[in-house]
Structure 1
């Protein structure tokens, strides 16, 4: 059974993750965290040394939820092409029903962090690397199984798939219309058929 202190810490992380993913790290204040959690500033600082520490834990939390949703969606697919498309399909209704409140945590953190937040930037880079590695493994399996052409550039395709996903998410969120991510799903589907051998 989880102790009260651990419950409180998780509550702070979960609520802060939603806040940061919707408003951004820089635009979110400690006062908003105390208001959302119902925990006073002193209580927050009993669990975290700084806002940066909360942000890192919050990103890890949001990222783990989205990663789980994506991996579940990928695991339900049979072909490498469908596994890659599953990444985008998770965000098919990003405006109304994203896998985590506020959209893609990796995209949100990456667009916000700069040289002023090296720790958060490093965490975003780790998220980028992990996502690309998962995509590259899927593509490599597709080549190995004979689904994809053997001369396919694995790194270039992984970058293209991730860019299609994040670009579609960003444009759809900005416009308040899912058409951009949906067009990218269709375009990527056509492209993947062109590099498939079967």
Structure 2
């Protein structure tokens, strides 16, 4: 008779995500995971695989939580530019908040693992596409609706905003000055006028 799990794998994955997000991949040991999750090392390996596999599953969970929110915000019917502005301002507000000190899990991964970890790099790129593509679509829609000048390049603007959003997360993580991210966001938004 197979033994039943004495823990909730979904809750354990969420807990692992929170630990990795707070500490990073390299600074999180298997002992840290055992203590934080409250489950044995063998159970972690049996349920999630290696520490690296658990980290990749945590990245997938983060994407499941974050990516649909952005798409929903940017694909609302009606004027598109107010939605783009709201997204940029939301990112700035989050980056300037105390919780912003964690940064973005994907951006943190891009800096820590992506340069030498192809599996993490693939997930980072997919997540970035899930930010840039809805921004581009919203800007194309804004242009078609007459909200954005015809001489503007929606793809280039989407890329600029995407890079800004990632930069806001990095600066918010490291800076004690919330005006830095707010001012940068507002200056970028002025480019949409």
Normalised by the length of structure 2, the TM-score is: 0.86
1:86–1:109 Cα change, 3 Å = farther
Q: Distance in 1 between matches of 2:109 and 2:74?
A: 23
In structure 2, the partner of 1:188 is 188
Stretches of structure 1 that go unaligned for 5 or more consecutive residues are: 194-198
Supply the distance in 2 between the matched residues of 1:114 and 1:57 (Cα, whole angstroms): 15
**Corresponding residue for residue 151 of structure 2:** 151
What is the aligned partner in structure 1 of residue 9 from structure 2?
A: 9
Partner of 1:96: 98
2:34–2:40 Cα contact (<8 Å) kept: yes
Per the alignment, residue 116 of structure 1 pairs with 116
Decide which moves more: 117-126 or 18-27.
Answer: 18-27
Q: CA deviation at 1:40?
A: 0.8
Q: Confirm or deny: 8 A CA contact 1:165 1:184 kept in the other structure.
A: no
> Residue 96 and residue 76 in structure 1: after superposition, are their counterparts in 2 closer, same or farther (change >3 A)?
farther
- Please report how far the alpha carbon of residue 31 of structure 1 lies from its aligned counterpart in structure 2 after TM superposition: 1.1
In structure 2, runs of 5+ residues without a counterpart are: none
Q: Give CA deviations for 1:65-113 in whole Å, capped at 9, x if unaligned.
A: 2224434544679532222222222231423244xx8231221111112
Aligned length: 188
1:20 and 1:125, CA in 2 relative to 1: closer, same or farther beyond 3 A?
A: same
Give TM-score scaled by structure 1 length. Answer: 0.84
Alignment match, 2:52? 52
CA-CA distance at 1:168 after TM superposition? 1.9
Q: What do you get for the CA RMSD once the two structures are aligned?
A: 2.3
2:61 maps to 61
Corresponding residue SS for 1:90: helix
Q: Give the whole-Å Cα distance in 2 for the aligned partners of 1:52 and 1:62.
A: 15
